[in-house]
Amino acid sequence: MTAEYSYETRMQDPRDIPPIDGPDLNVVSLNDRLESDIPHDADAEQALLGALLYDNEIYHRISGIVQAKHFYIGANEKIFEVIAKLIEQGKLADAIILKNRFSKDSMLDDIGGIEYLALLLDNAPPGSTAPEYAKLVFDLAMRRELIRLSDDIKTLATDPASEQDAKAQITQAESKLYNLAELGDTQSGFVSFEHALIQSIEMASAAFARDGQLSGISTGLIDLDRQLGGMHKSDLIILAGRPSMGKTSLATNIAFNIAKKFRREKDENGIEKTVNGGVVGFFSLEMSSEQLATRLLAEHSGVPSNRIRRGDINHEQYEHIRDSAEEINRIPLHIDDTGGISIGALSARARRLKRMVGLDMVVVDYLQLLTGGAGMNSSTNRVQEVSMITQGLKALAKELDIPVLALAQLSRQVEQRDDKRPQLADLRESGSIEQDADVVMFVFREEYYVARAEPSEGTDEHNQWMEEMEKLHGKAEVIVGKQRHGPIGTIKLAFNPELTQFGNLAPEDDFGGGEY
């Protein structure tokens, strides 16, 4: 290598490194590079690239740690990006292949030429040290992002023209900090179609390999899973119904089923991932945590909740309750019963729970009890506030990459119809809820209405009423009124009113199914 083309000299003077054209890949600007206090380590980046070129198998050990956007030097970022793409396509990534690839794109000089690629190979460290270099590159990238984020926070906080109040700024900052901690970036930006397609194929492969072939989290209710494909990540799912239909009971049953099946495993990079069930955060704005726990105890022990509350139990039932309590205590179901919470506070608590113990699903009971937060004023009507809430719940589902199940009340116009099965138009403030939701479901129990229309005893009408009650007893419907990913239709479930428990119907009792 000639002295006048020493890449070490180029590393010492960042102005010699030409910027790389292309999409925003978090490459720092020339002005940023001139700042001597920007955290970075060119030697660590070179060592990692050299190890990869020497042994492509190392990529599979560090791909879960570092990405191309984490490199500070633009040339190193571009080299890593090409190496990663070649290896993921099952191709060889060495200095000659890279030389041909960059020559074809007329970018060989931009990355320092074949001399720089040779330098990387010559200085390649032992492969066993590559993960440590990857961790260092990632850590320094996070520090740079923290500096950028803190500058943004300071700029916004000191801007007298800003329309955001302090609480809104804190919520926004916390969201960006969460994204940085979880995703290694404060914002996602554009994603290539190739990357999105790979994610879609991975989801389909996981569903094919999983029992029941579900792409989402199983609810524990077979027919509901068959209709929805499970609870999908990033989906906002609305579960609505009139009072006494059992929407809280169904949400509780689903949350319990998911938490009960929770199981984690480590992947090839040593990172723990949920492989079954999930950690559930339950925001109970109407019922206290004690009332919710009593419902779970009743469902799991088989002792009616009203008898548990009164203490009207025998010794055997007490033993069942105690054993159930010990088992329930071990499942990852976390309850927050703060009343009148704002959508911003709910999102902040959900982020915190995911950071501390993990989070795979959020349940909100119920949507209309949330508030829009400090941004609301006297001129804001309820429809606008609900719109802000549903948009916030959908944003939370996407940000945390989890399903959010939100319960909702229906308007009284349902009671005015002969057929009291709910419709989308029955949702209170239905416009925003229907628009933002990925799935809208309704709980309906015809038995509830028929029981309140009992004719006089001894009449033919009463005998017909008895026959109808016998036919409807212990049965409920979940009506899927909207679904982005599949068909709408009606699912039949069993319902035990004493235990407030939904379950699967026996095959001979299943008198309907999904409709396309």
pLDDT in the model for residue 3: 34
Render pLDDT for 487-504 as a digit per residue (tens, 0 to 9).
899 999 998 887 788 888
Selection from 127, 147, 82, 128 nearest residue 108 by Cα: 82
Domains assigned to the chain: 3-156 (1.10.860.10), 216-283+326-509 (3.40.50.300)
Q: Can you state the angle between helices 247-260 and 289-301, rounded to 10 degrees?
A: 70
Determine the longest span between alpha carbons in the chain, in angstroms: 109
Tokens representing 18 are 């030409």
Give the type of residue at 136.
L
pLDDT in the model for residue 385: 82
pLDDT in the model for residue 512: 43
DSSP track, 372-396: --TT--TT--HHHHHHHHHHHHHHH
pLDDT in the model for residue 268: 60
CA distance 93 to 304: 65
Selection from 487, 495, 491, 482 nearest residue 516 by Cα: 487
The SS3 call for residue 439 is strand
> Residue ranges of the alpha helices (H) in 408-459?
430-436, 446-451
Q: What angle do CA 367, 368, 374 make, to 5 degrees?
A: 95
Residues in the chain, total: 516
Phi, psi of 498 (to 5 degrees): -65, -35
pLDDT in the model for residue 282: 93
The SS3 call for residue 203 is helix
Residue 366, preceding peptide bond in cis (omega within 30° of 0): yes
Contact 414, 422 (CB under 8 A): yes
The SS3 call for residue 116 is helix
Low-confidence ranges of the chain (pLDDT < 70): 1-36, 178-179, 181-214, 267-271, 373-380, 428-431, 506-516
pLDDT in the model for residue 12: 37
Render pLDDT for 3-15 as a digit per residue (tens, 0 to 9).
333 333 333 333 3
DSSP track, 478-499: EEEEEESSS--EEEEEEEETTT
CA distance 420 to 447: 11
pLDDT in the model for residue 26: 43
Selection from 362, 407, 366 nearest residue 259 by Cα: 362
438-456 per-residue burial string, b: 16 or more CB within 10 A, e: under 16: bbbbbbbbbbbeeeeeeee
